[in-house]
Amino acid sequence: METARPSLTMGPVYYLWDSAKWRDFHFRIADEAPFERVVIGETVCSKRQHFIEPHIAEVIERLENAGKTVLLSTLALVTLERESRLIRELARDSEYMVEANDLSALGLLNGKAHSVGPLINVYNSATARLLAGRGACRICLPPELPFSSVKRVIAETPGVDFEVFAFGRMPLAISARCAHARSKGKIKDNCQFVCGDDPDGLPVKTLDRQSFLALNGVQTISHTCQALLGELPDLAACGVSAIRISPQDCDMVAVASLYSAALDGAIGADEAVDKLRMLYPAAPLSNGFHHAREGAAWVARARDTAQAG
């Protein structure tokens, strides 16, 4: 069977970057990166909203002028009335497709074409089909899903475009408590936006100095960087419609170009992995979840070596 080449989606920036950096980053992505669609909007902490708000319109315009489809991301954890209001307005008024990251957004988007983000628990096709029946036309599957599940969900859910989280530190947990603020002697309510000091996350090491996790405000992310490169042919073959690239504080235009070349078969998997390590040296690569192992694991595949070159 001829398989379509998956396109590239850039996920929302999970980190607090200062306004100008956030804007300029998206401008460059618009102008230079081979993404078909770009998801923007604060996803992790509603307190950060005002940092990007002044620039959202110009970023959308720049992305659209470059021919990219824009989606707006909703918050992952919604507890305050102010946060609920934000999502109600977005669900009701947005002229751009909205990507749901919590249950309230799923509820409010019923009957409207929408996207489902990787922070929603879609573990099986019964769930995917239910969401599709309510208007979900794109679903980015959770990073925790093994390939056996990815394959199955896609095969059993026709009519939905599926994405797989293929680059970036993985979102592993979210809390009402801000461990990031607390690590700097603050609490969430008077955090003074200390998470802005760590645009790629704040490392959490074990007492034996093993790099383990990283903090991003109320979100806990992996120390390792998910890297599905050798796995791209399998993902394409099982019908994955787009590869999701989650922004880190590195040259994301180069990362996107690398994934694009790997999807085209213009670069072998081993070489792509070597190049990715140079582009994002801050974190070791992992693909364990995909291979039904611990998420931090790196599974090298002999087949890739055989096919390379």
Partner 1 sequence: MELICPAGTPSAFREAVDAGADAVYCGFRDETNARNFPGLNFSRDELREAIAYARSKGTQTFVALNTFMRAGDEEIWYRAAADAVALGADALILADFGLMAHVAEHYADQRLHVSVQASASNVDAINFLVDAFNAKRVVLPRTLTIADIARIAPKIRCEIEVFVFGGLCVMAEGRCSLSSYATGKSPNMNGVCSPASHVRYRKEADELVSELGAYTINRFATGEAAGYPTLCKGRFDIADERGYAFEDPVSLDVMGEIDALTAAGVSALKIEGRQRGKAYVAEVVSTLKKALSAKADDRPALLAHLRGLSEGQKTTSGAYEKRWR
C-alpha of 214 from chain center: 16
Instruction: Using the minimum distance from each CB to partner 1, give the nearer residue, 30 or 181.
Output: 181
The span from the CA of 91 to the CA of 73, in Å, is 11
Side-chain-facing half-sphere of 66: CA atoms under 13 Å: 21
Instruction: Using the minimum distance from each CB to partner 1, give the nearer residue, 23 or 48.
Output: 48
Closest to 183 in 3D by CA, of 283, 175, 67: 175
Q: Considering the complex, what minimum distance in angstroms separates the CB of residue 77 from partner 1?
A: 6
The token pair that represents 284 in the structure block? 């070791």
Q: Considering the complex, what minimum distance in angstroms separates the CB of residue 173 from partner 1?
A: 4
C-alpha of 119 from chain center: 9
Instruction: Using the minimum distance from each CB to partner 1, give the nearer residue, 4 or 207.
Output: 207
Q: Considering the complex, what minimum distance in angstroms separates the CB of residue 277 from partner 1?
A: 20
Closest to 24 in 3D by CA, of 13, 9, 37: 13
Strands 114-116 and 136-140 turn out to be: parallel
Instruction: Using the minimum distance from each CB to partner 1, give the nearer residue, 72 or 76.
Output: 76
Q: Considering the complex, what minimum distance in angstroms separates the CB of residue 43 from partner 1?
A: 13
Q: Considering the complex, what minimum distance in angstroms separates the CB of residue 188 from partner 1?
A: 4
Determine the residue type at 248: Q
Instruction: Using the minimum distance from each CB to partner 1, give the nearer residue, 22 or 162.
Output: 162
